[in-house]
Amino acid sequence: MKKRFQVVGIGNAMVDVLSHVEDGFLAENAVEKGIMQLINTERSVELYGKMGVTKEISGGSAANTIAGIAALGGRTAYVGKVRDDQLGAIFAHDLRAQGAVYETPFAAPDGADETGRCMVLVTPDGERSLNTYLGVSEHLGPADIDREMMANTEWIYLEGYRFDGPESHEAFALAIDACKGAGGKVSLTLSDPFCVDRHRGAFRTMIRDHVDLLFCNVHEMQAMFPADDLKASMAEAAAEVEIVACTASENGAYILYDGETEHAHAVPTRIIDATGAGDLFASGFLYGLTSGFDMLSAGRMGCVAAGEVISHIGARPEVDLMGLFKEHGLV
Amino acid sequence: MKKRFQVVGIGNAMVDVLSHVEDGFLAENAVEKGIMQLINTERSVELYGKMGVTKEISGGSAANTIAGIAALGGRTAYVGKVRDDQLGAIFAHDLRAQGAVYETPFAAPDGADETGRCMVLVTPDGERSLNTYLGVSEHLGPADIDREMMANTEWIYLEGYRFDGPESHEAFALAIDACKGAGGKVSLTLSDPFCVDRHRGAFRTMIRDHVDLLFCNVHEMQAMFPADDLKASMAEAAAEVEIVACTASENGAYILYDGETEHAHAVPTRIIDATGAGDLFASGFLYGLTSGFDMLSAGRMGCVAAGEVISHIGARPEVDLMGLFKEHGLV
């Protein structure tokens, strides 16, 4: 029997606050380029005060992935916590408007924390440097996991960033148990090389015990599986999970499974804003995988979706992705 | 002695909620194309629920104008009301980040209204249809007018849309009195043809008694000064005020003063989103006028600034406007 969902994603629910900056701004404000750094309320206020004019666009890594799957017509849902405030309303609206199911209860209205946001500083080279105020997204816990939903999905997609919250480990465990108990599978994204450094042990255990499909980029791969070269790191990863999907920027992505390696080429694009590249790769790949396409086609779908999202500001697709798949002869 | 400000703008403080829609969406949802329509909370919730994925970008007609002047390095301030909520914080941040002074007190926190927002539906032809929930912007009143600020500006810029609030008429009167009493001048934008219909009498009185510079587009011009043709309407307007600046879309703008008519040509641009075209024309024109440029140059500055803002989503400039002025040989 067909399950209700192809993919259910769990992660940090965020609204992105995007601004163009020069490289000097990063240096002056001690922002590390190209990675995600967690910031507290004070730092968030300080940094926002120095940022120029911004745009607000729904974000959140796994939420971007789920939005992409929904945009492709996939059956998909998202779990992540916002508060009943204006940014929370925007986040919920945008996911649902895209066709995803989103039913996570609002965070309690009595706390000091607001809906999480990520200050995205985009430099002229298109690279993005992320400054994340987690807000209530931090409070995602086991009570937010609907076992029935998890039993009713072919895949769950876990966001590595969410390992930054203690209660969320329990939430992940619950989701994995319900999903696998009903024959579903588990995918994980390593999210960020520094996220790997923070959670190496927890990632290692989860990969070994539960993960069927591992998403990462080459930096995360080498942080997680240190070896002489990328090929050796990928081989180590492939020994642990059924499928490895490793993105490599302008070199596209490598898919390892059953002792094979497929190379999906990147779509040539002028990079305006790299935000969401990995997230949308996962959208395309998971959509392809759960729609009966072969590994290389799924990888190419990932590359096409990633190519779309880096061609404009913001981490949600703006162009009909299925139309792009058609143009590329993928469907 | 040089005044502190070149221009102080007064209007509806808004955050724009922008979404791409097909023309059919407008018809199905009874949205009138190309104009601004006021909506109440229920309609706002209904329409937002039907809209697809959105972007949130600070807006508000006069606020866009002031942001443009600030972006050019002009000395400028804005008066308009938001609440101390997340959208209010975004609005205030973006104006100040651009370099404008913005000190209007927050609306009282006990009311039901939130910071105003404008749902902007952008059709494939680039036209925008505005659906405005005024929220607390409606409550702008005489207490929000700082007489010293108004005495310290060369020009005030009044947004026609703000005639929709009864208390604001009093606020405008106070601002005009303080400004003119100190030798300043008054500009007004008619904002929208239906806004002209709603406030014809009040506009007529204000134009006759106080306005030195009138901004409008050809539709607003013909609504305000009905005559056999555009030329006759413009002549009527020119008889009432010192300067008329009438925009005409792809035909650029006409500047009437001292019995002369100057024609500033439009900058050829692919229209992505027409939101803010008139607002940014006013930025360029007011900047030019208050920086000692002649009428035609000021008009051309208006056309260049308008051309920039319609080439992307959102009504705030994204490219260095002074750089564009240089490219066009204006500075």
Q: Which two tokens stand for residue A94?
A: 């945008």
**How, if at all, do strands B253-257 and B243-247 pair?**
antiparallel
- What span, in angstroms and rounded, lies between the C-alpha atoms of B330 and A235? 61
- Tell me, what DSSP letter sits at residue A210? T
> Does any domain span residue A275?
yes
> Does any domain span residue A166?
yes
Of A87, A97, A114, the CB nearest to B51: A97
> Does any domain span residue A270?
yes
State the pLDDT at residue A110. Answer: 82
pLDDT in tens, A77-129: 999 999 999 999 999 999 999 999 999 999 988 888 999 999 999 999 999 99
> Does any domain span residue A127?
no
Q: Which two tokens stand for residue B55?
A: 């972007």
State the pLDDT at residue B289. Answer: 98
Enter the pTM of the model: 0.94
Provide the CATH number for the domain around residue B257. Answer: 3.40.1190.20
- Confidence label for A195 from pLDDT (cuts 50, 70 and 90): very high
CB contact at 8 A, A296 and A318:
no
Q: Which two tokens stand for residue A5?
A: 């969902």
pLDDT, average across residues A278-283: 98
Among A16, A45, A14, A37, CA closest to A135: A14
- Confidence label for A311 from pLDDT (cuts 50, 70 and 90): very high
Residues from chain A contacting residue B52 (CB–CB below 8 Å) = 97-98
- What span, in angstroms and rounded, lies between the C-alpha atoms of A153 and A176? 11
Which helix (H) or strand (E) is B17 found in, with range? Answer: strand B15-20
> Does any domain span residue A155?
yes
State the pLDDT at residue B109. Answer: 84
Q: State whether residue A208 sits within 8 Å of chain B by CB.
A: no
State the pLDDT at residue A237. Answer: 98
Residues from chain B contacting residue A54 (CB–CB below 8 Å) = 90, 93-94, 97
> Does any domain span residue A158?
yes
Q: Which residue in A has a C-alpha nearest to residue B68's C-alpha? A: A53
Q: State whether residue B84 sits within 8 Å of chain A by CB.
A: no
Q: State whether residue A44 sits within 8 Å of chain B by CB.
A: no
Task: Mutation target for A interface from B51, B53, B72: give the one with most A CBs within 10 A.
Answer: B53
Residues from chain B contacting residue A20 (CB–CB below 8 Å) = 318
Q: Do B53 and A97 touch (CB under 8 A)?
A: yes
Q: State whether residue B314 sits within 8 Å of chain A by CB.
A: yes
Q: Phi and psi for A113 in degrees, rounded to 5?
A: -75, 145
Per-residue pLDDT of chain B (331 residues; tens, 9 = 90+): 689 999 999 999 999 999 999 999 999 999 999 999 999 999 999 999 999 999 999 999 999 999 999 999 999 999 999 999 999 999 999 999 999 999 999 998 888 899 999 999 999 999 999 999 999 999 999 999 999 999 999 999 999 999 988 889 999 999 999 999 999 999 999 999 999 999 999 999 999 999 999 999 999 999 999 999 999 999 999 999 999 999 999 999 999 999 999 999 999 999 999 999 999 999 999 999 999 999 999 999 999 999 999 999 999 999 999 999 999 999 9
- Where in the sequence is the domain holding B227, given as residue range(s)? 5-327
Q: State whether residue B56 sits within 8 Å of chain A by CB.
A: yes
CB contact at 8 A, A17 and A48:
yes
Of A53, A90, A97, the CB nearest to B52: A97
- What span, in angstroms and rounded, lies between the C-alpha atoms of B264 and B307? 12
Task: Mutation target for A interface from B86, B272, B309: give the one with most A CBs within 10 A.
Answer: B86
Q: Which two tokens stand for residue B52?
A: 């697809």
Strand order in the sheet with A253-257: A101-102, A76-79, A5-10, A153-159, A185-189, A213-217, A243-247, A253-257, A260-264
Q: State whether residue A316 sits within 8 Å of chain B by CB.
A: yes
Q: Which residue in A has a C-alpha nearest to residue B94's C-alpha? A: A53
Residues from chain B contacting residue A136 (CB–CB below 8 Å) = none
Q: Do A97 and B54 touch (CB under 8 A)?
A: yes
- What span, in angstroms and rounded, lies between the C-alpha atoms of A15 and A132? 10
State the pLDDT at residue A145. Answer: 97
> Does any domain span residue A36?
no
The nearest CA of chain B is from the CA of A80 a distance in Å of 18
Amino acid at A104: T
B295-299 long-range contacts, CB within 8 A, separation 24+: B295/B243, B295/B255, B295/B257, B295/B260, B295/B262, B296/B255, B296/B262, B296/B264, B297/B330, B298/B255, B299/B245, B299/B252, B299/B253, B299/B255, B299/B262, B299/B263, B299/B264
Among B159, B135, B144, B57, CA closest to A15: B57
Q: Which two tokens stand for residue B145?
A: 């007018």
> Does any domain span residue A27?
no
Q: Do A98 and B52 touch (CB under 8 A)?
A: yes
Q: State whether residue A326 sits within 8 Å of chain B by CB.
A: no
Counted domains in chain A: 1
Of B55, B56, B98, the CB nearest to A53: B98
